[in-house]
Amino acid sequence: MTAQTRTKGTVTHFLDTIDLSKQEMLDLFETIRMLKEADMQGAVPKILEGASLAMIFEEPSTRTRVSFETAMTDLGGHALYLKPGEIHFGSHEAIKDTARVISSMCHGIMLRAKEHESVMALAEHASVPVFNAMTYYNHPTQGVCDFFTMSENVPEGKRFEDIKVVFVGDSREDTGIMSKETGHMCATLGLDYTVCSPARYSMSEGEQAKIRAKMAETGGTLTVTDDVDAAIEGADFIVPDVWTYYGYEEEEADRLASFMPKYQLNMDMLDRAGAQCKALHCLPANRDVEITSEVLDHPTRSIVFQEAENRLHTQRGLLAWFLYPRMREADAALKQYNEGRLRSFLDTKLK
């Protein structure tokens, strides 16, 4: 693992999918695939036995919390759910102090943060792996999950390396989280990526430059347009996201007027893209707004709920990939020695 952000020597954090190499991402996919197969057999290996993961949530979550907590249990470890009001993260205690304290007690730290700067500060001062579980800027755990799901649904006769991925919706700098994340994954994997948004909600020049710089290394392509028909032509996967956000209520009417109905993922859009095209959505979805219920629940064209289940398999893979190399395993003789020594001491003192 050479490309991820590193701090304090050998500690590797999971902060941004664009920091991984293509081979690292493919190896991560294979790890997820192996663990998913093991799960189908009821035989997930307990390779993180005795490990603990601190999960800090500044924002609510369904899939992220359930998947990380279940994944740690499945791998033999333990997850601690922490939220503001229960710990002093960033309020009565500096983030760097929280990072040092939790690092001394846990094997890893997961953070869903309001501000991207918070996860970066946590990683800077933590001496254990930090997992970015979404900020206002990106959502790397979701990104890995989405593209792993795509890898399981490549159109017949096509290679994964040749798929076309289209994001339709809000790609604005301050709100278009999944448009950026999808771009980072396409950049890392060298894929064909098209972003389709109304001009006022389009991807920033700075973000485009970041994605294109990575694609120059991997062979991917980026197209940014407001033309839906041109964007979806030949698409293998269409990715939407919500159009309205907490804290932007005053924009809701303008947003709905800008996106509806042209940018709504409905069966007409899916069919215009071609019979091979499938729909994703990171969830939660506003049914019949950015995506119709007909598409969301479609038995063959939607892979949304396969995608949602894959969050669990993805978290297992991420935890195994980043935490397993740091696990210390004593041999049976050393374990027996320490147990015998402690029992003997306690038996003597507590009679």
What does the pLDDT read at residue 2? 36
pLDDT at position 88 is 82
- Report the alpha-carbon distance of residue 152 to residue 12 in Å, rounded: 28
Q: What is the pLDDT of residue 230?
A: 98
- DSSP state at residue 89: B
> Are residues 275 and 325 in contact, defined by beta-carbon separation less than 8 angstroms?
no
Taking alpha carbons only, the member of 163, 169, 113 closest to residue 138 is: 113
Q: What is the pLDDT along the chain (351 residues), one digit of tens a residue?
A: 333 443 333 459 999 999 999 999 999 999 999 999 999 999 999 999 999 999 999 988 999 999 999 999 999 999 999 987 788 887 778 999 999 999 999 999 999 999 999 999 999 999 999 999 999 999 999 999 999 999 999 999 999 999 999 999 999 999 999 999 999 999 999 999 999 999 999 999 999 999 999 999 999 999 999 999 999 999 999 999 999 988 888 999 999 999 999 999 999 999 999 999 999 999 999 999 999 999 999 999 999 999 999 999 999 999 999 999 989 888 899 999 999 999 999 999 998
Handedness of CA 170, 176, 177, 180 (dihedral sign): positive
Residue 300 CB: number of other CB atoms within 10 A? 7
Q: What is the pLDDT of residue 248?
A: 86
Question: What's the pLDDT at 264?
Answer: 98
Closest by CA position to 147, among listed 191, 86, 114 = 191
Helices (H), ranges, the chain: 22-40, 63-74, 95-103, 116-125, 140-151, 177-189, 205-218, 228-232, 252-259, 267-273, 293-296, 304-323, 332-349
pLDDT given at position 11: 56
User: What was the pLDDT predicted at 3?
Assistant: 37
Residue pair 156/128 in contact by the 8 Å Cβ criterion = no
Please name the helix (run of DSSP H) or strand (run of DSSP E) that holds residue 221, with its range, or none.
strand 221-225
Torsion angle defined by CA atoms of residues 27, 28, 34 and 38, in that order, rounded to the nearest 10 degrees: 160
Distance, first Cα to last Cα, the chain: 52
Question: Rounded CA gap, 302 and 312, in Å?
Answer: 19
